[in-house]
Amino acid sequence: MIYLALLLLPLAGALISWFTGSNLRRPRLLPLFGAAHFILTLLAFMGGPKPVLSGWLALDPLGMVALLTISTLYLGCAVYAAGYLPSRRRRSNRVLCLGMLVCLSAMSLVTMAHHLGLLWVAMESTTLSMAPLIYFNRNARSIEATWKYLLICSVGIALALLGLFFLAYATLVAGAETTLLLEPLIAGARRLSPAWLNAAFIFLLVGFGTKMGLAPLHTWKPDAYGEAPGLVGALLSGGLVNCALLGIIRVYQICMAAGDVRFYQQTMIGMGLLSMAFAALFMLRQTDFKRMLAYSSVEHVGLLAVALGVGRGALFAALFHLFNNGLTKGVLFLTSGNIHRSYGTKNAEQVRGVLQRLPFTGGLFLAGFFAITGSPPFSPFLSEFGIISGTFGGGHPLVAALMLLFLAIIFMGMASTILPMMMGSAPRESGTVVGYRDRFFTVAPPLALMVVILVLGIWLPEPLRRLLADGARLLEVAP
Amino acid sequence: MNSLMDQLLVLVMLLNFLGLGTSRMQVAIRTVAFQGVILGLLPGLAHTFSWHLGMITLGIILAKGVLIPWLLFRAMRRVEIREAVEPFLSYSATLLLAAVATALAFVFAAKLPLAPQHQGLLFVPAAIATIITGFLVLTTRKKAITQVIGYLILENGIFIFGLLLSQAMPVMVEAGVLLDLIVGIFVMGIIINQISREFSSIDTSRLTALREER
C-alpha cells in the first residue's frame, strides 16, 4: 500500500498541477505534495514495509537511505519553489511543476525497484522528466545544456540497458533461469559466468556513471548545473545523483556476492580518484559559481565511488555521506539560486558583498561551503572523515593520501571563489532584477536543511544509525 | 525458422549501411523505422504464438515503425531542415569504418563465451555491428536530428541482444522501455525545435557557448 501511495501521490499532484490554470497558485501544490510524500516516507521508515509484487517492490535499508535523502531534499526544494516561482511569474511554470512531480514519483520508484529492468525504466524516466526543468530559462545557453544532458544521459542509460542484458545473459550461461530480480541474482551470484558479469559491471558502471557524473563521463554536468535554476540544480545533485548511485550500488551488491571482487573494487577506486582529480583541476580559479558547485558534485560522487571500492570500513560512512552530500548540495544550490537572482550573474568576479545584501543567503552559502568541504561540526565532516579513515584502515594508504590532497586543493579552490563573493560591499543594483532580497520562503528551506546537517554532525539518532549500519551490512563482501 | 531470422538480421546490418551512407534525412528516418519493424517481427519468429507475444510485436512495430518516425518527421517539418545530413567525417570514411566494425563484430562474437544454444547465430554480431554503427552516426554527424537517429540505431542494436533473453524482461518492463523511448524522442523533438528557433539551425557544432573559460 505504502509503495503505491509513494508512487501515485506525486503523479496525482502532477495531474492536478497540469490542470491548474493560475501561474501563481500552481507552485503552491509543490510543498503540499512534497510534505505528503515526506510523511509517507517517514511512515515507511518507521514501519519497514514488507516486499510486495513477488519481490519487485521492496524498501531495503539501502533504498530507504536514498528515499529518505530524496524526500527530505525534495520537500526543501518544493517549499523554495513556492517562494521562488512567483518572483518569475511571467514565465509559465506549468511544465516545471509537472516535471518536478513526475520526477519525484520516478525517483521513488528507483529507490524501491528490486527488478533491475524496472529500475532502469524508472531511471530513464527521471532523466526525461528533468530535461524540461533544465530548460526553464529558455535561452541559447540553457538549450545547449539541455541538449547535451539529454543526449549524453540517454546514450549512457542505453548502455546501462545493454549491461543489464549482459547480467541476465550471465545467468543464462550459468544454466540458471534468466531473471533480473535482485534477490535471486545475489543468491546465485557465485554461479554467474564471470566474463559476462565483468562486462555487465563495466557497461552498468559507464551507464549509471554517466548519469551520476563520474569522470571522465561528467562533461554534461557543469553545463546542466550551471544553466538550470538553483532549485533544479539541487534536485539534480541531491536527487538524480543518488538515484544513479543506487543503481550502481545494486550492481555492486551482486558483484560483491560473486566472490572475486578485486577487479570491481579497483575499477571503482580508479574512477573515483579520477573524478576527484578532475574536480580539483577545474575548481581552481573557477569563475562561475554554479559550475563550481557542479564540480563539487563530481568530487563527491568520486568520493562515494572510492568508498564503495574500499568496501568494509568505509561503507557506513559512504551511506551517511550519500545523505549528507544530498542535503548540503541542496543548501548550496538553493542559496546560489538566490545569489544568481539578486545579482543577475553567475560570474563570481561580479558578485561582491553577498553577506551585506543577502545576509541569510550569504551566511547559509558560507556554512554550506564549510560543510561540503568537510569542516566540523557539520555531518559531512563525520562521513568524509569516516571514508578516509576507512580507506587508510582498508590498506589503501596511497589512495587515502591522494584523496586528502584533492580535498585540500578543492577547499582552497572553493574558498578563493566564495570568500571574495561574501566580503566587500555590494555593487549598486542595475539591470532587470532589482530589489531581490531574502524572504521567508527562499531562506527557510536551505536553513532547515542546514539545521539537519548541523544536528546530525553532533548527534546521530539511533534509528538512522541502525538504518545506515543495516545498509552497510548489505554491501559487505559475502564471506 | 533460423534461416529466415538470419536473413532478417543480415538485412538489419545492411540497413545500418544505408542509414550511415545516405545524405538524405528522410531516407535515414525511414531506414531506422524499417529496422525497427524488422526487430518487431523477430520475437514472433523465435517463439510460438501467444497473446503476450502478439502484444509485444504489435507494440514494437507501432512504436518503432509508426510513432517514432512520425515524431521525427514532425520535428523535421517544423524546423524546415534542408535535406543534407552534413557529416563531420565524410560518408566514405564512415562507411569504411562501419564495414571494418561489422567484420570485427563477427570475429569478436565468435570468441565470446556464448550459451551453447546461441553459438553460430547472427544475433550477437548483428547487435555489436548495429551498436557501433549507432555510435558512428552519433559522433560523426552534426545535426541534432541525425544524432537522434544515431541514438535510435544504438537502441536497436541493444534490442537485438535483448532478443536472446526472452524471459528476463517481462511485458511490463518491455512496455516501460518502449514508453521511455517514445517519450525520450518526443522530448528530443521539442528540444530540436527550440534549438532551431534559437540558433536558426540545428547544427550542433554551433552549440559551443558552454565551456571552461581559461
What is the least distance, in Å, from the CA of B22 to any CA of chain A?
22
Q: pLDDT at position A30, please?
A: 93
Q: Residue A431: inside a domain, yes or no?
A: no
Residue A1, classed as helix, strand or coil, is coil
- How many distinct structural domains can be found in chain A? 1
- Asked if the C-beta of B171 comes within 8 angstroms of chain A's C-beta atoms, the answer is no
Q: What is the mean pLDDT of residues B144-159?
A: 91
pLDDT tops 60 at residue B1:
no
In terms of average pLDDT, the best of A62-76, A136-150, B159-173 is A62-76
Q: Which three cell numbers stand for residue A365?
A: 552559502
pTM, two decimal places: 0.93
Which cell numbers hold the place of B159?
534490442
Which is nearest to B102 in space by CA: B122, B74, B120, B72? B122
Q: CA B40 to CA B66: how far, in whole Å?
A: 12
**B111 CB near a chain A CB, below 8 Å?**
no
Q: B16 with B102: CB under 8 angstroms?
A: yes
Mutate to test the interface with A, among B139, B164, B187, B195 (most CBs of A within 10 A): B187
For residues B133-158, give the mean pLDDT: 90
What is the mean predicted confidence (pLDDT) over B65-86? 78
Over residues A63-79, the mean pLDDT reads 95
Residue A85 lies in domain: 2-426+436-475
The confidence score (pLDDT) of residue A118 equals 93
Q: How many Å separate Cα B87 from the centre of its chain? A: 18
pLDDT for position A478: 63
Segment A153-177, tens digit of pLDDT: 999 999 999 999 999 999 888 887 7
Question: CB–CB of A131/A102 below 8 Å?
Answer: no
Give B31-69 pLDDT, tens digit per residue: 999 999 999 888 877 777 777 778 888 889 999 999 999
C-alpha dihedral sign at A376, A378, A379, A383 = negative
- Measured between CA atoms, the residue of chain A closest to residue B186 is A128
Q: What is the pLDDT of residues A378-437, one digit of tens each?
A: 999 999 999 999 999 988 999 999 999 999 999 999 999 999 999 888 777 665 566 778
| A chain contacts of residue B210, beta-carbon cutoff 8 Å | 141, 144-145, 148, 222-223, 226-227
pLDDT value, residue B214:
45
- Nearest CA to A118 among B24, B109, B173? B173
Residue A61 lies in a domain: yes
Query: Quick check: A180 and B113 CB within 8 A?
Result: no
- For residue range B85-139, what is the model confidence (pLDDT) as tens digits? 566 778 888 889 989 999 998 888 888 888 877 777 888 999 999 999 999 998 8
Average pLDDT score, chain A: 91
Query: Hey, what amino acid is at B174?
Result: E
Q: Is residue A463 in a domain?
A: yes
